[in-house]
Amino acid sequence: MIDIQILRNDIGIAKDKLLSRGFDLDVATFQSLENVRKELQVKTQDLQEKRNSISKEIGISKSKNENTDLLMKSVNVISEDLKAGESELAELQKKINQFMLDIPNIPHESTPIGKSESDNKVLKTVGEPRKFTFKVKDHVDVGAQHGLNFDLGVKLSGARFVVIEGKLAKLHRAITQYMLDTQTDKHGYKECYTPYLVNSDSLIGTGQLPKFEADLFSLSHNESKLYLIPTSEVTLTNFVRDEVLKLSDLPIKLTAHTPCFRSEAGSYGKDTRGMIRQHQFDKVEMVQIVHPDKSYDALDEMVSHAEFILTSLELPYRLLSLCSGDIGFGAAKTFDLEVWLPSQNTYREISSVSNCEAFQARRLKARFKSEDGKNLFVHTLNGSGLAVGRTLVAIIENYQNEDGSITIPKALVSYMGGIEKI
């Protein structure tokens, strides 16, 4: 949630910045709500002052043994009016809060201005794509002979699901383990195991609800509703919901391996072949909770942590700064890492690392006590370290051999029990 003071102090600038990311702020509605709020606050403040004044009169009259019936009747009437006004104000605050929940984050000044992914800025390209001496196959065709079974996935669950068997399943597990070990042992994240089902408060906190409910899988549980997590960013970031942290607690660095569930409601018809866009996939997530002054240093650090996985697996990739029209709902600044896929002759996203600044923290009420004793909002960051399925795809395609076998990247051989080729 953006700071409401930004809208109150200069809504014109806020509107322009939000337009740069394709969001048209409803200025008229906000100003209408604000005008009513001001009127109600003035009304309730006046009533409170009148009640306090009459209460003092009652106290003075009683000390003089004077009759206070009329004063008591008057203060009771004011109290009823005040109660009604406070109730009306509370309802209005709910409407304002709902209005604010639908507004995306304001892009950081360094975020490139643009409308779509075509306006993203390539910052660097690392590694040379392999020159093949044979016709390259995609991961679907190479993987079919090693246990990548899309037909069985459809049989069990439907489209956009896959079953992975045999040594390819072992490779999928090895990738996951390697990523977890790297993020914990080398980069200092605390490994966590979190629920795969969360309540609506958790998803409101990180920004998936209420705006993106159509992209989530949900189920009824007793009289409540639970949602399958779209990423463990949700659970890890919610660790600090409704908390006031000590300054010494920061930074907090968390990682988790979880399946991620996304209905891909907004991606109908995209990447229908293969594992690029699945309803269920695995990811090793990185989350940092940091002091506001340190969040952009943390963002650069997290990008380097994701890059380390790609360079150690010797996979060609490029780094992009996403434009204002392509960053996620809660992000102020986002870097994407895209891995080279030879079958598509292009780079595809494998990690997205974002600084949400205080956007999620306001929704979460996640704060820390500063040196001068003030409760300030933390900054939250999240990123893939990496998407496991897409890393498997990249390895299958970049390490494929003419006979259909797949060479195991050196960094993963020990995790494969010494197997160098499948």
- From the annotation, which residues make up the binding site for ATP? 262-264, 349-352
Q: Please enumerate, by residue number, every residue annotated as part of a binding site for L-serine.
A: 231-233, 262, 285, 382, 384
Residue whose pair of structure tokens reads 């998803």 in the numeric block: 203
d(CA 181, CA 312): 13
Nearest to 317 by CA among 131, 125, 138: 125
Distances (CA, A) of 421 to 97, 415, 417: 56, 13, 11
Question: 121-126 and 252-261: which strand pairing?
Answer: unpaired
Element (H, E) at 288: strand 280-290
17 Cα distance to chain centroid: 20
Q: Residue 177 half-sphere exposure, CB side, CA atoms within 13 Å?
A: 13
Specify the amino acid at residue 311.
T
Which segments are annotated as binding site? 231-233, 262-264, 285, 349-352, 382, 384
Residue type, 121: K
Cβ–Cβ under 8 Å, residues 178 and 415: yes
| Cross-strand partners of 228 | 197
∠ CA 25-26-31, nearest 5°, is 120
Classify strands 190-191 and 252-261 as parallel, antiparallel or unpaired. parallel
For residues 303 and 336, the answer to whether their CB atoms sit within 8 Å is no
